Chain A
Amino acid sequence: MIEISHVNKWYSPSFQVLKDCTTSVAKGEVVVVCGPSGSGKSTLIKCVNALEPFQDGSITIDGLKVNDSKTNLPKLRSRVGMVFQHFELFPHLKIIDNLCLAQQKVLGRGREEAIAKGRKLLERVGLKEQAEKFPAQLSGGQQQRVAIARALAMDPIAMLFDEPTSALDPEMISEVLDVMVDLAREGMTMMVVTHEMGFARKVAHRVIFMDRGEIVEDAKKDEFFGQPRSERAQQFLSKILSH
């Protein structure tokens, strides 16, 4: 589904953020990307739907090359859902309109169809009652669930999550993770940048560990948590799992 092949990215000639990153995500697979801050994991996931340009290598989604000027990027992006750390709901639009905007403007769905779809998804993330409210009237956890519903409204073939729970209060993390776990169990293809190792243990098929722009470890979940090959990943795990 997602093929990442020898991706290199420089912010400046002396500062390389991604070093020869190669991995893939199969259809229906859930891959968790973790690593210390500044390791390039967010940058990598943003490269997947070309929100960040990269200078070298290639990424293909469902057979379409992302870094090809002939690719219709808006169309490709509309098929890949993305959830951000800071939710990024559109503050001037009601919740339901946040869900309808791209359905109508990108997919060309009619207003009624978009609303019906939006309401169904809001119900699914447990926010049916909030449809007519504005984002600022919702809690962080609720906003992030709306953001997930907004991405799902586009009927994506894969979902990208960029630290979806990092900006949330502890008690709101689980309500968002619950939605993500459900998604994973339904067979959604997911690439998730997160520090939530509990989530990784529960639903991930593979874990990728990044450090200083490199993919240091790319292993099946059990191998990763059982006996990580690299020393760097061992240190990382022992630090974040010690509490």
Chain B
Amino acid sequence: MNYTWNWHIFLEPNPTGAGTYLDMLLAGLKVTIVTSLSAWVIALIFGTIVGILRSLPSRLATWIGFLYVEFFRNMPLLVQLFLWFFVLPELLPRTAGLWLKQMPNAPFYTAAVGIGLFMSARVAVQLAAGIGSLPRGQKMAATALGLTTLQTYRYVLLPMAFRIILPPLTSEFLNTVKNSAVAITIGLIELTGAARAMQEFSFQVFEAFSAATLMYLVINVIVVIGMRLLERAVAIPGYITGK
């Protein structure tokens, strides 16, 4: 293989004139982190609402939850981002579409919302399963005490359901970070985008993507450790999940 390794490339100035190649990658890393966190927050909010809907006794609620989940989880993420970014502005009334297209940072908002909604379907399924795994008597006991349905979820069902699904939620959080790379296709210069830009300007493809890989690894190790700590912090004395 005719390849000249050059690990010093990171310290050389990048062609944008603003700092080194390393700065370029770090800027991409920052975008990845902000995009992933925003998407994760959206995923948790919508996933919680839809997960609750799926667990309610009401036919209408479960039906809405079912449609939502099947819509967002049965289409490739790439296609969804294209839909939100390229198709949605054309479908809207002219002024609204124009406003969307001219919005500064449009790729970022589209990515955060698009990935967030895609992941929310998965969070919803997990949460509904978590709620379903609780004994039926828990809801009855809360209801019998006079708690309303909303209070029953808020104070009794959700605190337990979320504890139970923390391990699979960790995976979903990691997936959110990894899926943020898809946003490169709608022009978001996140970590993968920055690595590709570096490769195009410097031709040091292996160095660029080695560094990007390492950065993804570091983010996800931090996520894993953080979630572990959270699991430990909310563990209930004497209570063993799934045993």
Q: Which A residues form the contact surface with B (CB < 8 A)? A: 46, 49, 51, 74-82, 84-86, 88-92, 101-102, 105-107, 133-137, 147, 150-151, 154
Q: Answer yes or no: B171 CB below 8 A from chain A CBs.
A: no
Cβ–Cβ contact B155 & A137, under 8 A: no
Contact of A106 with B144 at beta-carbon distance under 8 Å, contacts A91-B160, A92-B160 already known:
no
Could you say which residues of chain A place their CB within 8 Å of the CB of B140?
46, 51, 84, 88
Chain B interface helix/strand/loop/mixed = helix
Could you say which residues of chain A place their CB within 8 Å of the CB of B185?
none
Query: Residues of B within 8 Å of A, CB-based: how many?
Result: 23
Closest to A75 in B: B146
Contact of A105 with B144 at beta-carbon distance under 8 Å, contacts A91-B236, A91-B239, A136-B237 already known:
no
Besides the contacts A75-B146, A82-B144, A101-B147, what 19 more A-B pairs have beta carbons closer than 8 Å? A51-B140, A76-B146, A78-B146, A80-B144, A82-B141, A84-B137, A90-B141, A90-B142, A90-B156, A92-B160, A92-B236, A105-B155, A106-B151, A107-B146, A136-B237, A136-B239, A137-B237, A137-B238, A151-B145
Contact of A74 with B238 at beta-carbon distance under 8 Å, contacts A86-B135, A88-B141, A92-B159 already known:
no
Checking A77, A89, A91, A107 against B144 with a beta-carbon cut-off of 8 angstroms, the contacting residue is A77
Tally of A-B Cβ pairs under 8 angstroms: 84
Closest to B157 in A: A90
Cβ–Cβ contact B236 & A78, under 8 A: no
19 contacts between A and B (CB under 8 A): A51-B140, A77-B146, A84-B140, A89-B141, A90-B142, A90-B155, A90-B156, A92-B159, A92-B160, A92-B163, A101-B147, A102-B145, A102-B147, A105-B151, A106-B145, A106-B146, A107-B146, A137-B238, A151-B145
Compute how far the CA of A206 lies from the CA of B151 in the bound complex, rounded to whole angstroms.
37
Cβ–Cβ contact A51 & B144, under 8 A: yes
- How close is B208's CB to chain A, nearest CB, in angstroms? 47
Could you say which residues of chain A place their CB within 8 Å of the CB of B155?
90, 101, 105
Could you say which residues of chain A place their CB within 8 Å of the CB of B237?
133-134, 136-137
Q: Answer yes or no: B138 CB below 8 A from chain A CBs.
A: yes
Could you say which residues of chain B place their CB within 8 Å of the CB of A151?
145
Could you say which residues of chain B place their CB within 8 Å of the CB of A46?
140
Cβ–Cβ contact B163 & A150, under 8 A: no
Cβ–Cβ contact A134 & B239, under 8 A: yes
Cβ–Cβ contact B137 & A88, under 8 A: yes
Cβ–Cβ contact B148 & A74, under 8 A: yes
Q: Answer yes or no: B143 CB below 8 A from chain A CBs.
A: yes
- How close is B152's CB to chain A, nearest CB, in angstroms? 10
Closest to A134 in B: B237
Could you say which residues of chain A place their CB within 8 Å of the CB of B138?
88, 90
